[in-house]
């Protein structure tokens, strides 16, 4: 592991003071900032390792589910504010609040397994006017409306679900993701990017339509991390969408964290057609500002049924062309049990994902 930088304590204190004394803080958020500062100080004293995931969607859900069982760590999830599809998009259009889908998945992942509340939070309605809506999304929206801010809603939900860790929106304001293509065309909106037909030109730049800024909590989490985990998840619309928010790249570069990147199992027609493992790493490095210290690539066979399913969607296994690189870990890390489609869910989701136990094992080797 890397040594702890001399300036890390000062930076943490400075960021906590900023979070406590900002004029725009409400009494509730100020109290939460003080509480976070006390907890942070305690965890620093006992040398709890700070692990931060940056992403969104089901990839972050799997990663957090894997990590919450590790002892003596402080776990934070920086999640995107650009989600505009499905239930999340409908609620965002109606209320104008931060998109709740990525935050909800992270909260559920960090909640205690096997509880009725956790199961209810994932329930998706299939009938009537609320068909397609997720109960967790509706509750987060209601709490935001009641408590006055998305941060307060996430904190209240964290207490309800008794989550282990923190869920941190990358910005305090919703953003619309813009992807600039090699041919000069621009795609506006995460859902638009995800839904574009095969055969499009490559994405060369990500930005946001709105002038959003990095949240204080996301800055603190990134700067003070011991380990930062990127992926798995859609390269541009889940992982790198966070880095379209100005400030996150600089915060990660200022950190002394080890960066672990889980390369996606498949390259998709909409975002990464023909991308090899090295191309994924190249894009991660370009946006993050640092090359990952550890790159995890899946090895091993996938069933013919799985391959045919993805081929029908113009998605193919990511080719490992990283060669003899000491930073690469090759492992049979895919969970080969196909996941069933959730009734009422309008969004296409992956049916095969990384194995949480193997993710946890790799991360623990860096602690």
pLDDT tens sequence across 74-114: 999 999 999 886 676 676 656 667 777 889 889 999 998 88
Angle CA 304–307–310, to nearest 5: 150
Residue 27 has what pLDDT? Answer: 66
What would the mean pLDDT of 208-234 be, rounded to a whole number?
Answer: 93
Q: Is the pLDDT of residue 40 over 80?
A: no
Q: Between residues 45 and 262, which one has the greater pLDDT?
A: 262
Q: Give the CATH number of domain 8-364; options: 3.40.50.10680, 1.10.150.80, 3.40.50.300, 3.90.110.10.
A: 3.40.50.10680
> Residue 155 — pLDDT band, cuts 50, 70, 90?
confident
Q: Is the pLDDT of residue 334 over 60?
A: yes
What would the mean pLDDT of 21-29 be, rounded to a whole number?
Answer: 62
* CB 344 within 8 Å of CB 331: no
Return the minimum-mean-pLDDT range out of 43-47, 64-68, 158-162.
43-47
> Residue 336 — pLDDT band, cuts 50, 70, 90?
low
Residue 20 has what pLDDT? Answer: 66
Q: Between residues 76 and 16, which one has the greater pLDDT?
A: 76
Q: Which residue has tokens 């889908």?
A: 101
Q: Between residues 141 and 5, which one has the greater pLDDT?
A: 141
Return the minimum-mean-pLDDT range out of 8-17, 50-59, 95-104, 301-310.
8-17
Q: Between residues 291 and 31, which one has the greater pLDDT?
A: 291
Distance CA 264, CA 275 (A): 10
* CB 294 within 8 Å of CB 322: no
For the purposes of burial, counting CB atoms within 10 Å of the CB of 321, is it exposed (0-12), middle (13-18) or buried (19 or more)? exposed
> Residue 32 — pLDDT band, cuts 50, 70, 90?
low
For the chain, the structural domain boundaries read 8-364
What integer best gives the mean pLDDT of the chain?
A: 84
Residue 5 has what pLDDT? Answer: 46
Residue 31 has what pLDDT? Answer: 61
Paired sense of beta strands 294-298 and 258-262, if any: parallel
pTM: 0.84
Residue 18 has what pLDDT? Answer: 65
Q: Is the pLDDT of residue 259 over 70?
A: yes
Distance CA 139, CA 157 (A): 9
> Residue 3 — pLDDT band, cuts 50, 70, 90?
very low
The CA–CA distances, whole Å, from 154 to 2, 99, 103, 108, 235 equal: 32, 12, 8, 11, 25
Report the share of the chain in percent with pLDDT over 70. Answer: 80
Report the share of the chain in percent with pLDDT over 90. Answer: 47
Q: Going edge to edge, which strands form the sheet with 227-230?
A: 166-169, 73-79, 49-55, 227-230, 258-262, 294-298, 328-331
Q: Between residues 287 and 116, which one has the greater pLDDT?
A: 287
What would the mean pLDDT of 35-55 be, rounded to a whole number?
Answer: 69
The CA–CA distances, whole Å, from 128 to 100, 124, 217, 342 equal: 21, 12, 38, 17
Summarize pLDDT for 276-291 with one digit per residue, the tens: 999 999 999 999 999 9
Residue 344 has what pLDDT? Answer: 46
> Residue 119 — pLDDT band, cuts 50, 70, 90?
confident
Residue 353 has what pLDDT? Answer: 83
Q: Is the pLDDT of residue 25 over 60?
A: no
Return the minimum-mean-pLDDT range out of 206-220, 256-270, 341-355.
341-355
Residue 110 has what pLDDT? Answer: 94
Q: Is the pLDDT of residue 240 over 60?
A: yes
Paired sense of beta strands 227-230 and 186-188, if any: unpaired
């Amino acid at each position: 592991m890397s040594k702890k930088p001399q300036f890390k304590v000062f930076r943490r204190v400075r960021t906590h003071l900023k979070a406590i004394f900002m004029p725009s803080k409400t009494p509730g958020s100020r109290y939460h900032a003080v509480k976070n500062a006390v907890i942070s100080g305690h965890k620093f004293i006992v040398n709890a390792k700070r692990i931060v995931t940056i992403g969104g969607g089901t990839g972050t859900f799997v990663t957090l589910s894997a990590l919450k069982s590790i002892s003596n760590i402080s776990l934070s999830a920086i999640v995107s504010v650009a989600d505009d599809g499905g239930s999340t998009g409908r609620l965002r259009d109606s209320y104008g609040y931060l998109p709740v889908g990525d935050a909800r998945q992270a909260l559920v992942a960090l909640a205690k397994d096997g509880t009725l509340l956790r199961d209810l939070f994932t329930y998706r309605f299939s009938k009537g006017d609320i068909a397609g809506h997720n109960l967790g999304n509706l509750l987060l929206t209601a709490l935001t409306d009641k408590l006055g801010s998305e941060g307060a809603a996430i904190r209240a939900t964290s207490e309800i679900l008794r989550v282990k860790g923190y869920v941190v929106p990358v910005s305090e304001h919703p953003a619309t993701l813009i992807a600039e293509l090699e041919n000069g065309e621009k795609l506006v909106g995460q859902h638009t990017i995800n839904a574009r037909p095969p055969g499009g030109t490559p994405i060369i730049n990500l930005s946001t339509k709105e002038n959003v800024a990095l949240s204080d909590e996301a800055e603190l989490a990134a700067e003070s991390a011991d380990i930062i985990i990127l992926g798995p998840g859609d390269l541009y619309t889940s992982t790198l969408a966070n880095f379209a928010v100005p400030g996150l790249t600089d915060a990660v570069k200022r950190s002394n964290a080890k960066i672990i990147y889980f390369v996606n199992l498949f390259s998709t027609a909409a975002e990464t057609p023909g991308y090899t493992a090295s191309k994924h790493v190249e894009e991660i490095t370009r946006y993050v500002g640092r090359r990952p210290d550890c790159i995890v690539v899946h090895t091993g066979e996938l069933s013919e049924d799985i391959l045919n399913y993805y081929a029908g969607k113009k998605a193919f296994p990511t080719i490992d062309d990283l060669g003899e690189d000491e930073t690469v870990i090759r492992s049979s890390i895919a969970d080969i049990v196909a996941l069933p489609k959730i009734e009422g869910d309008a969004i296409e989701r992956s049916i095969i994902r990384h194995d949480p136990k193997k993710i946890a094992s790799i991360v623990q080797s860096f602690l």
